[in-house]
Amino acid sequence: MTRQIPSTDVDFVEKLFLGIDVGGTNVKLGLVDAEGTVHRRGTTPTPELGTPQRIFNFAMQFAMQQLEDLARPERDLAGVGLAVPGVLDTRAFELREVVNLPGWHGQPLLELLCDASSLPSAVVNDANSAAYAEHASRMLGDRSLALITLGTGIGCGLVVNGSPYGGDHGCAGELGHIAIRFDDDALPCTCGSRGHLESYAAAGGLINRLRSAIKAEGPSHFSAELLSDQVTPLNIAAEAEKGSQVCQELIDETAQYVGQAIGMLGQVIDPEVVLLGGAMTFGGNATNTGRQFLERVRATVKATTLVQVGINMQVDFATLGNDAGVLGAAMIAKQVSQP
Ligand SMILES: [Zn+2]
pLDDT digits (tens, 9 = 90+) for 259-304: 999 999 999 999 999 999 999 999 999 999 999 999 999 999 999 9
Contact 205, 199 (CB under 8 A): yes
Provide the pLDDT for residue 77.
97
Provide the pLDDT for residue 234.
95
CA of 20 to the centre of ligand 1 (A): 29
**∠ CA 83-138-327 to the nearest 5 degrees?**
25
- What value does the mean pLDDT take over residues 202-207? 96
CA of 153 to the centre of ligand 1 (A): 10
pLDDT, the chain, mean: 93
Q: How far apart are CA 107 and CA 95, in angstroms?
A: 7
CA of 42 to the centre of ligand 1 (A): 35
* Confidence (pTM): 0.91
Contact 238, 286 (CB under 8 A): no
CA of 198 to the centre of ligand 1 (A): 6
Q: Give the tens place of pLDDT for each residue, 71-92.
A: 999 999 999 999 999 999 989 9
- Reported confidence tier of residue 6, pLDDT bands at 50, 70, 90: very low
- What value does the mean pLDDT take over residues 322-330? 93
CA of 106 to the centre of ligand 1 (A): 24
CA of 188 to the centre of ligand 1 (A): 8
CA of 174 to the centre of ligand 1 (A): 9
Contact 201, 156 (CB under 8 A): no
Contact 329, 113 (CB under 8 A): no
- Using a 10 angstrom Cβ sphere, with 0-12 exposed, 13-18 middle and 19 or more buried, the burial of residue 179 is middle
- Reported confidence tier of residue 2, pLDDT bands at 50, 70, 90: low
Q: How far apart are CA 129 and CA 206, in angstroms?
A: 27
CA of 205 to the centre of ligand 1 (A): 12
Provide the pLDDT for residue 333.
96
Label the pairing between strands 273-277 and 145-150: parallel
Q: Which three-class secondary structure state does DSSP give residue 157?
A: strand
Q: How far apart are CA 242 and CA 288, in angstroms?
A: 10
CA of 166 to the centre of ligand 1 (A): 18
Domain ranges (residues) in the chain: 2-138+322-337, 145-319
- What value does the mean pLDDT take over residues 38-58? 95
CA of 35 to the centre of ligand 1 (A): 38
CA of 173 to the centre of ligand 1 (A): 13
Provide the pLDDT for residue 248.
97
- Reported confidence tier of residue 7, pLDDT bands at 50, 70, 90: very low
CA of 196 to the centre of ligand 1 (A): 5
User: CATH number of the domain at 145-319, out of 3.30.420.40, 3.90.76.10, 1.10.287.70, 3.20.20.70?
Assistant: 3.30.420.40
Q: What percent of the chain has pLDDT over 70?
A: 97
Q: Which three-class secondary structure state does DSSP give residue 29?
A: strand
Amino acid (one-letter) located at 181? R
The CATH-assigned architecture of domain 2-138+322-337 is 2-Layer Sandwich (3.30)
321 backbone φψ class: left, alpha, beta (φ>0; ψ -120 to 50): left
